Amino acid sequence: QVQLVESGGGLVQAGGSLRLSCAASGGTFNSYTMGWFRQAPGKERDLVATGIWSGSNLYYADYVKGRFTISRDNARNTVYLQMNSLKPEDTAVYYCAASTKRAALATLRLIQTYDYWGQGTQVTVAS
């Protein structure tokens, strides 16, 4: 059983930065595709960033391109989300997720592709 634990959320002023971390335990981390999602109050959970399991092909939602960067450290079983130039509309609970499926990037953009989820970490951006 894979367990995912996010950290690094908090309150930041607009224009600031945060780095989220997601530590995984159980399973074989370097074989999983890892993604970050977010969910604002009253809204659906949306994909922020992901990449195919080798990490060489990354996808970012349009609203974070150029500001957010997903990365992973297989030696530490951790995936990161570096968030720069934060905006109030980035306020949400951020979740990391792991997929055991080796799928095309188009499939990895679908929420149902992911098998394991963290508990989420709150990010609040003040204007």
Residues 96 and 9: beta-carbon distance below 8 Å: no
Residues 9 and 17: beta-carbon distance below 8 Å: no
Give the Cα separation of 78 and 58 in Å (integer). Answer: 16
Residues 29 and 39: beta-carbon distance below 8 Å: no
Residue 48 per-residue DSSP state: E
Nearest CA-CA partner of 81 in 6, 4, 2, 3:
6
pLDDT at residue 82, as a whole number: 98
Residues 57 and 105: beta-carbon distance below 8 Å: yes
Q: Which one-letter amino acid corresponds to residue 68?
A: F
pLDDT at residue 12, as a whole number: 98
Enumerate residue ranges in the chain where pLDDT < 50. none
